[in-house]
Structure 1
């Protein structure tokens, strides 16, 4: 693996809702054995491991990750580059921390940002159309039993976010007019959070097209429709990565919507029955300013959500080809002849 002093690329992994850093044990063990990544230092963030930590709100969790990254860097100041891998809610937690690191000058003065990799993360939240009793029950549960984080994911929270060049101050709405507040996920799609994400050399989204009980395709892919609903029987899979859907993109893997053109009419028609229509539209349009690489996956299993990180060897080993795909598409500082 090489001496620690030769590791110049810090890779931070953030777990999701009701999870812990140990969920990345197999992931890190696999990546740490790859000779092409022997300059990378893989660390699973631990400050949000305690019971119900992920209930306290993406902002609070993200702030803890921000502080943890700075502490990790103090112990590894030989690192010149940094990448983030977020699973599930971890993708949003990472995005919040990235905004704080951006205004803190971390990317300018400490580590240059290379990879942002999101693995089945609810970037547009977890709202569902209230057209069925099942969806209504899910929204009720998120709003009443998943604490602050649940409200944030369905955009029923109300915040004032004061942003300047030195800090970010978030307050619960109390005396301010309601029209001056926004759900946190809206703030997370613009301003310093969007600028911070834009600074990464490579931004990738991995999304399950079906069978992901925790995170639906559209919110993970930052899209408004699932293109596989009518074409599922005709999809082709990569020969090398048997759960990655193949397409005619430049690298022969599905990279749908790489041009990031959003059809406003489709957005209008899709969200017209949702009371949060304008907010959802705003989030999607904002985030699609990023030139994401999109990779679509399919597992014939309800374990899809945890297969993508091979959370448990005996239960999720089917997902090893996803680890191989991430490895093959991981931008490493060793291969960068220059960085601007």
Structure 2
């Protein structure tokens, strides 16, 4: 994991009056990727005048992303522990992850989570926390630490939170039922355990798939509690032209919740077309009912379209119910007016600046969101 340090303290009221970084931003790439490449663009934003250390994950390069979301998440967690151990000045932590990296990060934060309360020099957010606290109806936002640090932002860009099974969830298959049916059994041959997990066919028939477990608190991994510990959770989703990840799965929405996206960009943020805060929705959490067990077994052993659709619909609904127990800020992005709109999946994180610079407005929006959270923390500490 390589690191870069940027910025100065926001104000003299900050607890950190020197140039030692106190906020760790973990950057995580997606499938078949390598060290996160848009660090330079990220830290160029003048608004990020804070003691921020950007740490780009390097433990899951290339084919290591095929070994499973759980194994990649464990490696990422080990990287974070090493950085925290080596940098004694750190007090806060945020994650910014692209594509499959968002699932790696979700697993890693559960591994790094502890229910410890914040220390006396850590402060609660002002406006955003008040908004979320007033609407909390679950027990998953009661604080805690990630790698011993105060969790601030958890941000994903075009991440398949619900997997890639289902109509248009893997857009390069063009929504053709035959291709989508064929993709699930073939995926493990091309992308290993990760493929089975993304298509929700991993594990024994009587056990829920990994992504379904990650939408709840399990005995050993507190997936929802770890996410709930973050002050701000944001999902950025491409509404179209993303060949790898569909709008529904990247924005954690049901098909019925997708409307016609605005065509006009927000002022100052080109191609960012909509921002909504979705408060927590109370529920009993995700379940794995007997009909899901039967449907999963059938989906694993046969290729009957009806059974596959039935299993996916059950599991997707349960994942949504689980994840919606937390509040999320959902940011919709549209590259329909970009010169190369079909590069949307890499535009959203500006993978290569010379080729994917259309996403610069998205990165500016991300940077301003991070700055806003950091500033509110400093202001809270000054009173």
TM-score (normalizing by structure 1): 0.80
1:292 alignment partner in structure 2: 328
1:153 alignment partner in structure 2: 198
Show structure 1 runs of 4+ deviating over 6 A: none
Contact 1:213 1:305 in 2 (8 A): yes
Q: Please tell me whether residue 325 in structure 1 is matched to residue 365 in structure 2.
A: yes
CA distance in 2, matches of 1:225, 1:335: 35
RMSD: 2.7
Q: Please tell me whether residue 14 in structure 1 is matched to residue 28 in structure 2.
A: yes
Q: Secondary structure at the match of 2:37?
A: helix
1:30 to 18, 37, 42: 42
2:317 alignment partner in structure 1: 281
Distance 1:307 1:131, change over 3 A: closer
2:234 alignment partner in structure 1: 204
2:272 alignment partner in structure 1: 244
Q: Please tell me whether residue 100 in structure 1 is matched to residue 111 in structure 2.
A: yes
Q: Secondary structure at the match of 2:42?
A: helix
1:255 alignment partner in structure 2: 276
1:1-340 to 2 correspondences below 5 Å: 1=6, 5-21=19-35, 24-32=36-44, 34=46, 36-49=48-61, 51-103=62-114, 107=145, 110-129=148-167, 132-158=177-203, 178-179=205-206, 181-191=207-217, 192-225=222-255, 231=260, 235-246=263-274, 254-255=275-276, 258-261=278-281, 273-300=309-336, 301-330=341-370, 331-336=372-377, 337-338=379-380
Q: Which runs of 5+ in 1 are unaligned?
A: 159-172, 247-253, 264-270
Farther-moved stretch of structure 1 (147-156 vs 4-13): 4-13
Farther-moved stretch of structure 1 (329-338 vs 39-48): 329-338
CA distance in 1, matches of 2:47, 2:328: 27
Following TM superposition, by how much is the alpha carbon of 1:227 offset from its aligned partner in structure 2, in angstroms?
Answer: 5.6
Distance 1:307 1:27, change over 3 A: farther
CA distance in 2, matches of 1:102, 1:185: 18
Distance 1:82 1:139, change over 3 A: same
Q: Which runs of 5+ in 2 are unaligned?
A: 1-5, 9-17, 117-143, 168-174, 284-306
| Aligned residue pair count | 301
